[in-house]
Chains A and B, each alone.
Chain A
Amino acid sequence: MTGYIIKRLFAMIVTLWFIITLTFFLMHSIPGSPFNEERNTSEAVQRNLEKFYHLDEPLYVQYGMYLKSVVTFDFGPSIKKSSQTVNEMLGRGFPVSFELGIVTLIVAVFSGIALGIIAALRHNGIIDYLAMTIAVLGISVPNFVLATLLIQQLAVNLTILPVATWSSPKHMILPTLALATGPMAIIARLTRSSMLEVLTQDYIKTAKAKGLSPVKIVFKHALRNALLPVVTVLGSLAASILTGTFVIEKIFAIPGMGKYFVESINTRDYPVIMGTTVFYSTILIMMLFLVDIAYGVLDPRIKLHKKEGS
């Protein structure tokens, strides 16, 4: 197990390095710099600014400095908002984004699995059709469309929920709903089809022949096996929730990291771009790692370590 984890950690660092490098060079290949927009700064001032942020150095020197900032996890001050460091921005934005992301993930996973199980058990019944219709809608309607619809109906027309911001649990409902519906629908469909397949397996017949109750059969024997394919998509779902937060945070004016990320790209705020990218990538890579571990725990046939003989 530890050998496996060390190997994975090493692979994660390599992946991260690759992402950082790619981001760095992509970022510098976008035309324009943080300073040459509408504001009329004199040439001397601009040169001084560039010197201060080391933008006058050759690219490989800057690259080295960025790598160092990644390793020490200190990205320095923002170029655009020089009163704040990137670390401060992340420290402020991350808890909010994390809250939105985690709540969304939990809502999506639990409601998706529940919906999938119900649909499978009522196979071809009204509930099944209803659940799958919701699921297809959920998959095909983009979250920003859903977000605007929800705001329009529930916040503007019915005024039962606040339009935007992130100040109370009530404020969390609409953004979470908008963000969770797509992933929930994917999980529901996957759970349903996987559950239907598992229920035809021989070991389910064996469980019935033992006299187990339907509840035991579904939750103890079928669900764990049915969830294996669901677990494999959790990694990519987490990624889509993560990117979804950019848009949703923008629409609902939620003060998370997504705002900084989007703004930083528009304004070529290099340290902020690098900081947020490294941060997002780390989280995503960690998620994928956790998914692998979870898979190994759920399925004893997958050996994370080679020690055990068969």
Chain B
Amino acid sequence: MEKVLEVKDLHVTFTTYGGEVKAVRGVSFDLLKGETLAIVGESGCGKSVTSQSIMRLIPSPPGRIAGGAVLFKGQDLTKLKESEMRNVRGADISMIFQDPMTALNPTITIGEQIIEGIMQHEMISRQDARKKTLEMLDLVGIPNPVERLKHYPHQFSGGMRQRIVIAMALVCEPEVLIADEPTTALDVTIQAQILDLFKDIQRKTGVSIMIITHDLGVVAQVADRIAVMYAGKIVEAGERREIFYNPQHPYTKGLLNSVPRLDLDGADLVPIGGSPPDLFSPPAGCPFAARCDFAMEVCDRVYPYKTHLSREHHVDCWLQDERAQKMLAGIK
């Protein structure tokens, strides 16, 4: 399938008084046309920084893309001029943020906030932009949009606001939608509705979605593929089925074991002990070594090579290294 977005060896650092924070340390992944990729991981592992770097929205200074490339349909976004990048934002790649309560401007009507986005990217009349906005509001399930167009954000509930934010992000028909924790601030029933909306819209428009979350329930519901991030790196990635039923990285296993499941007794819940490494001076070896039950000497010293387990499934862990696998095969 066609690759819409390719992130290659992305490095992002923040210069602070305490030194350089290496928030993203060589992240690579592809986003295919029409698929949903979920990025999961603990708080602070670099999910938001990765997604904002794609849009070149990290605050700079202190943030800086220190290396790597972000290819959108083959074009490197990191090399674009700021004015060229503005033509990409909202038109080719859109972004949705976590909190719908604060993501909309409180002093501008929602209609105007959507219309201005269209007018920014498309050479059409205000009338047509308004018509497009109405269609979009209808699509995301806002009842009587003609009335609602004139309302301000505070006149909507949280779930409705997130629908408006989604409408705003999709109205210029972008090819990529990045959603950073789009449901975290909503209550559970609304969460499910919003996730359904994502799926529905993806079916209708073929947009590729990159969803960022630490909620594995959300992942199970929408993701085609999953990338697990830890301390600024993707440590395991694969199709949803592969990650849920055949996780190989001890961190991924830990994540899955720390989520309550209906088919298992609550007693089996095991939180992952310890905390992630300091990103000022990340360890030379595996960043999970300090918390890993299987850590070996090599883990402390050398970062594990990437091992491919299937076409999509790969993992950065010495346990899965080909040489260990060969040894095992030899014994058998």
| A and B assemble together | yes
Where the two chains meet, the residues of A that have a C-beta atom closer than 8 Å to any C-beta of B are: 201-203, 205-213, 216, 220-221, 224-225, 298-301, 310
Interfacial chain B residues near A208, Cβ < 8 Å: 57, 89
Query: What 15 additional pairs, Cβ within 8 angstroms, besides A208-B89, A211-B90, A216-B116?
Result: A203-B104, A205-B103, A206-B104, A209-B89, A209-B169, A210-B90, A211-B91, A212-B86, A221-B105, A224-B107, A225-B105, A225-B106, A225-B107, A298-B107, A310-B154
A202 to B117, alpha carbons, bound, how many Å? Answer: 16
A224 to B90, alpha carbons, bound, how many Å? Answer: 23
Partner of A210, one of B89, B106, B109: B89
B302 within 8 A of A: no
A205 to B120, alpha carbons, bound, how many Å? Answer: 16
* A211-B86, A211-B91 known; A203-B102 Cβ under 8 A: yes
B87 within 8 A of A: yes
Q: Is the interface of A mostly helix, strand, loop or mixed?
A: helix
Closest to B156 in A: A310
Interfacial chain A residues near B88, Cβ < 8 Å: 211
Are B95 and A301 neighbours in the complex by a CB distance under 8 Å?
A: no
Interfacial chain A residues near B90, Cβ < 8 Å: 209-212
B121 within 8 A of A: yes
* A208-B57, A209-B57, A209-B90 known; A300-B106 Cβ under 8 A: yes
Interfacial chain A residues near B120, Cβ < 8 Å: 210-212, 216
Partner of B103, one of A206, A298, A299: A206
Are B103 and A211 neighbours in the complex by a CB distance under 8 Å?
A: no
A210 to B108, alpha carbons, bound, how many Å? Answer: 15
Closest to B169 in A: A209
Partner of B117, one of A210, A299, A300: A210
B255 within 8 A of A: no
Query: In B107-122, which residues have CB < 8 Å from any A CB?
Result: 107-109, 116-117, 120-121
Are B105 and A203 neighbours in the complex by a CB distance under 8 Å?
A: yes
Closest to A228 in B: B107
Closest to B59 in A: A200
* A206-B165, A221-B108 known; A211-B121 Cβ under 8 A: yes
Interfacial chain B residues near A209, Cβ < 8 Å: 55, 57, 89-90, 94-95, 97, 169
Are A299 and B97 neighbours in the complex by a CB distance under 8 Å?
A: no
Give 23 A-B contacts (CB < 8 Å), ordered by A residue. Answer: A202-B99, A202-B102, A203-B103, A203-B104, A205-B103, A206-B97, A206-B103, A206-B165, A207-B105, A209-B55, A209-B90, A210-B89, A210-B90, A210-B168, A211-B90, A211-B91, A213-B86, A221-B105, A225-B105, A298-B107, A300-B152, A301-B106, A301-B152
Interfacial chain A residues near B94, Cβ < 8 Å: 209-210
Closest to B88 in A: A211
Are A211 and B117 neighbours in the complex by a CB distance under 8 Å?
A: yes
A310 to B108, alpha carbons, bound, how many Å? Answer: 16
Interfacial chain A residues near B57, Cβ < 8 Å: 205, 208-209
Closest to B121 in A: A211
Closest to A212 in B: B120
* A201-B102, A206-B103, A211-B91 known; A310-B165 Cβ under 8 A: no
Interfacial chain A residues near B152, Cβ < 8 Å: 300-301
Closest-CB distance, A249 to chain B (whole angstroms) = 39
Closest-CB distance, B109 to chain A (whole angstroms) = 8
Closest to A198 in B: B105
Interfacial chain B residues near A207, Cβ < 8 Å: 105
A252 to B25, alpha carbons, bound, how many Å? Answer: 67
B155 within 8 A of A: yes
Which of A202, A209, A298, A301 has most chain B Cβ within 10 Å? Answer: A209
A213 to B83, alpha carbons, bound, how many Å? Answer: 8
A301 to B109, alpha carbons, bound, how many Å? Answer: 11
